[in-house]
């Protein structure tokens, strides 16, 4: 039986993508060879890379002043590559601290320049997205984490500023349209909403590059990869191919606008049940709730039922709903590929569990 996959990452991919990926691992197109055993400079793979680079920009609506790269080292490497490439020693970058991932990004900046953490929701356990803060107009860039995978909060609007926004979109890439004109750069590890672990999508406005006065090691310089169309060295061929399959799937669904509508429906289904159910309570502020990661806990007084509910989930094929260790309780990750039917299965279990235990 195919189970319901609520894991946070690596995470659910569309079934049709997994099938096509499996086929390509045996024989790619009509080549009679696996995609895993052909040259990354073959015309067949070059076509994959070109389509993937173009489709990423097309889906989100980025123009020709931006370049797409498929990098390695995870989204975590972008935490240092961003300031290394964009921030000079005497310049200042602004960061908004909305949880673990922003924190890890913040930690790397001091090696390259000055940092100004202009807002944080740490005071309330990262349960909300800060809104009223000043963005100094001389900041080199403003770094945000659009969706907080662990705390289940999401920016539903991006600040109005002339400072280019650099955004970690690892856990909500391609889940909705974004105001492209606000972004100097976005990046996303593939393994939440796009493909297998092993590649990181980066879309960068070209005019921001080449402005710092430091020596940047070849492999860590965005311009190296831009100059070689993301094939300076051997790129992660399989993660890129599977990411391309997912992007084609997003396009077939009607693009990111259609994904957003579906994600809103799915989110409403689950959040409505959390709000209605006497046993469960959501942990993030309503207006900032994430449509990708839904954390919730047992209502006060019912904490002893937590392991029982996890067992019920497991026995019904609901996988990956145990909460992150610092938040506790449960977290249902409901990325693009998650079906409404799977969420309905979880909702029905929650209802049934409350009927028996509340
Ligand atoms: C998972 C995640 C990361 C880390 O990604 P890696 O590819 O493992 O380095 C960074 N940011 C966010 C928002 C994430 O969800």
Ligand 1 site: residues with CB under 6 angstroms? 9, 74-76, 101, 145, 149, 168, 170-171, 189, 192
The predicted model gives 264-278 an average pLDDT of 98
Query: Last residue of a domain, which of 252, 275, 308?
Result: 252
Grade residue 303 by pLDDT with cuts at 50, 70 and 90: very high
Structural domain boundaries enclosing 321: 255-357
- The pLDDT, as a whole number, for residue 8 is 98
85 within domain boundaries: yes
How many Å lie between the centroid of ligand 1 and the Cα of residue 76?
Answer: 6
**pLDDT, averaged across the chain:** 97
65-122 confidence digits (pLDDT tens): 999 999 999 999 999 999 999 999 999 999 999 999 999 999 999 999 999 999 999 9
208 within domain boundaries: yes
Domain identity same for 74 and 217: yes
- The pLDDT, as a whole number, for residue 333 is 98
How many Å lie between the centroid of ligand 1 and the Cα of residue 170?
Answer: 6
97 within domain boundaries: yes
Domain count, the chain: 2
Residue 1 has pLDDT above 80, yes or no: no
Residue ranges of alpha helices (H) inside 195-281 are: 222-227, 237-252, 255-276
Share of the chain above pLDDT 90, in %: 98
How many Å lie between the centroid of ligand 1 and the Cα of residue 291?
Answer: 17
- The pLDDT, as a whole number, for residue 264 is 98
Q: Output the domain CATH number for residue 118.
A: 3.40.640.10
Most informative mutation of 76, 146, 194 for ligand 1 (most atoms within 8 A of CB): 76
Alpha carbons within 13 A on the beta-carbon side of 278: 8
11-58 confidence digits (pLDDT tens): 999 999 999 999 999 999 999 999 999 999 999 999 999 999 999 999
Domain identity same for 201 and 325: no
Q: What is the phi/psi pair of residue 230, to 5°? A: 70, 20
320 within domain boundaries: yes
How many Å lie between the centroid of ligand 1 and the Cα of residue 189?
Answer: 6
- The pLDDT, as a whole number, for residue 172 is 98
155-179 confidence digits (pLDDT tens): 999 999 999 999 999 999 999 999 9
- The pLDDT, as a whole number, for residue 209 is 98
Residue 327 has pLDDT above 90, yes or no: no
Domain identity same for 306 and 179: no
Domain identity same for 246 and 284: no
The catalytic position among 192, 266, 288, 322 is 192
Ligand 1 atom at shortest distance from the alpha carbon of 150? 15
Domain identity same for 262 and 293: yes
8 within domain boundaries: no
- Cα–Cα distance for residue pair 347/271, rounded to 1 Å: 9
Ligand 1 atom at shortest distance from the alpha carbon of 189? 7
- The pLDDT, as a whole number, for residue 326 is 86
Query: Last residue of a domain, which of 197, 222, 252?
Result: 252
3 within domain boundaries: no
How many Å lie between the centroid of ligand 1 and the Cα of residue 104?
Answer: 10
Percent composition of the chain: helix, strand, coil (DSSP 3-state, to 5) = 40, 20, 40
E strands along the chain, which residues?
A: 4-5, 66-71, 92-97, 114-120, 142-145, 147-148, 153-154, 165-168, 183-189, 200-205, 280-282, 293-298, 318-319, 330-333
- The pLDDT, as a whole number, for residue 2 is 79
For residue 349, what are the contacts with CB-CB under 8 A and spacing of at least 6? 312, 313, 316, 318
Protein residue with its CA nearest to atom 14 in ligand 1: 170
Ligand 1 atom at shortest distance from the alpha carbon of 197? 7
Domain identity same for 261 and 231: no
Query: Last residue of a domain, which of 218, 252, 286?
Result: 252
- This prediction has a pTM of 0.98
Q: Give the alpha-carbon dihedral of 38, 43, 47, 53, to 10 degrees.
A: 80
Domain identity same for 129 and 56: yes
Rg over alpha carbons for the chain, rounded to the nearest Å, is 21
Q: What is the phi/psi pair of residue 214, to 5°? A: -105, 160
- Cα–Cα distance for residue pair 77/38, rounded to 1 Å: 27
237-260 confidence digits (pLDDT tens): 999 999 999 999 999 999 999 999
342 within domain boundaries: yes
Beta strands 200-205 and 66-71, pairing class: antiparallel
Protein residue with its CA nearest to atom 10 in ligand 1: 75
Contact by Cβ (8 Å): 48, 230: no
Domain identity same for 190 and 270: no
Protein residue with its CA nearest to atom 5 in ligand 1: 75
Beta-bridge partners for 203: 68, 186
Domain identity same for 199 and 259: no
1 within domain boundaries: no
The catalytic position among 97, 101, 140, 322 is 101
Q: Output the domain CATH number for residue 312.
A: 3.90.1150.10
Assess whether 101 carries a catalytic annotation: yes
Contact by Cβ (8 Å): 7, 331: no
Grade residue 149 by pLDDT with cuts at 50, 70 and 90: very high
- The pLDDT, as a whole number, for residue 354 is 98
């Amino acid at each position: 039986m195919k189970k319901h996959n609520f894991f946070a990452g690596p995470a659910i991919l569309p079934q049709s993508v997994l099938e096509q990926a499996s086929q390509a691992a045996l024989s790619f197109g009509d080549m009679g060879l696996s995609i895993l055993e052909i040259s990354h400079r073959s015309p067949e793979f070059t076509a994959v890379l070109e389509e993937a680079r173009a489709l990423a920009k097309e889906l989100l609506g980025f123009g020709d002043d931006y370049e797409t790269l498929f990098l390695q080292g995870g989204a975590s490497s972008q935490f240092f590559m961003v300031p290394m490439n964009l921030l000079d020693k005497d310049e200042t970058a602004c960061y908004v601290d909305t949880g673990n991932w922003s924190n890890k990004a913040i930690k790397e900046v001091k090696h390259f320049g000055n940092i100004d953490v202009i807002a944080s929701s740490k005071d309330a356990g990262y349960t909300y997205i800060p809104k009223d803060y000043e963005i100094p107009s001389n900041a080199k860039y403003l770094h945000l984490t659009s969706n907080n995978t662990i705390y289940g909060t999401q920016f539903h609007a991006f600040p109005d500023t002339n400072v280019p926004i650099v955004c970690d979109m690892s856990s909500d890439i391609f889940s909705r349209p974004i105001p492209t004109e606000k972004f100097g750069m976005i990046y996303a590890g593939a393994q939440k909403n796009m493909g297998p672990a092993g590649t990181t999508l980066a879309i960068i406005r070209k005019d921001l590059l080449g402005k710092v006065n430091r020596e940047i090691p070849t492999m860590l310089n965005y311009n190296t990869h831009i100059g070689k169309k993301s094939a300076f060295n051997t790129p992660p061929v399989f993660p890129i191919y599977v990411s391309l399959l997912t992007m084609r799937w997003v396009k077939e669904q009607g693009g990111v606008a259609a994904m957003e509508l579906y994600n809103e429906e799915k989110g409403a289904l689950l959040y409505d049940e959390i709000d209605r159910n006497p046993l469960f309570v959501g942990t993030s502020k309503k207006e900032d709730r994430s449509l990708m990661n839904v954390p919730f806990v047992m209502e006060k007084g019912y904490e002893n039922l937590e392991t029982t509910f996890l067992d019920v989930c497991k026995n019904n094929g609901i996988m990956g709903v145990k909460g992150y260790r610092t938040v506790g309780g449960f977290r249902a990750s409901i990325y693009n590929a998650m079906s409404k039917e799977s969420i309905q299965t979880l909702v029905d279990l929650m209802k049934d569990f409350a009927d028996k235990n509340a």
